[in-house]
Amino acid sequence: MNQTTWQKLDEMFAEASFMRAEPVEESEVVEAARVFGFQLPEDYQQFVCRYGGATVGPFSIYGLRAADTMGPSEASAFEVTKRFRSEGWQGVADALVISADHSGNPVYLKPNGEIWITDHDFGGTSKIADHFEDYLLNKCLG
């Protein structure tokens, strides 16, 4: 991610540290992704290492830890993904769920780094960002 994005996030968390979890060692993030069988995009991996997981704007960003503002079932993106997969959500079979909208629709990373959403009200999936940093800037911080 670019320095401006990091600065925005750091300033937000400096004012409200309860909105982020604790940092995660890179080795833990890499191992969790390896066990799950998913290659993490660099920007998302850096975010998880730096913050663990967080609430950014109005949305939870799942990582490997839950911030105080998140529910206990939101600590692990890998566990959240397993839940959405077991419920049969379209689009998540080859993706990692990193967030959800206010209707409970999964927001997920595809292997190519794009961010997609599945809408249960209207059916179908759609791309909402080219990569994780775009999602943060345009949907969460926008």
Q: How confident is the model at residue 19 (pLDDT cuts 50, 70, 90)?
A: very high
pLDDT(73) > 90? no
* Burial zone of 28 (CB within 10 Å; 0-12 exposed, 13-18 middle, 19+ buried): middle
Residue 53 makes CB contacts below 8 A (sequence gap 6+) with: 20, 21, 60, 61, 62, 63, 64, 65, 66, 67, 70, 74, 75, 77
Q: What is the pLDDT of residues 20-59, one digit of tens each?
A: 999 999 999 999 999 999 999 999 999 999 999 999 999 9
Q: Of 22-26, 73-77, 132-136, which gets the smallest average pLDDT?
A: 73-77
Looking at residue 72, its pLDDT comes to: 81
Tokens of 14: 């400096």
Give residue limits of the domains in the chain: 3-140
CATH architecture for residues 3-140: 3-Layer(aba) Sandwich (3.40)
Contact yes or no for 116/95 (Cβ under 8 A): yes
pTM of the model: 0.96
- Name the band, by pLDDT with cuts 50, 70 and 90, for residue 122: confident
Distances in Å between the Cα of 91 and the Cα atoms of 9, 25, 30, 42, 115 are: 29, 29, 23, 22, 11
The tokens for 23 are: 């940092």
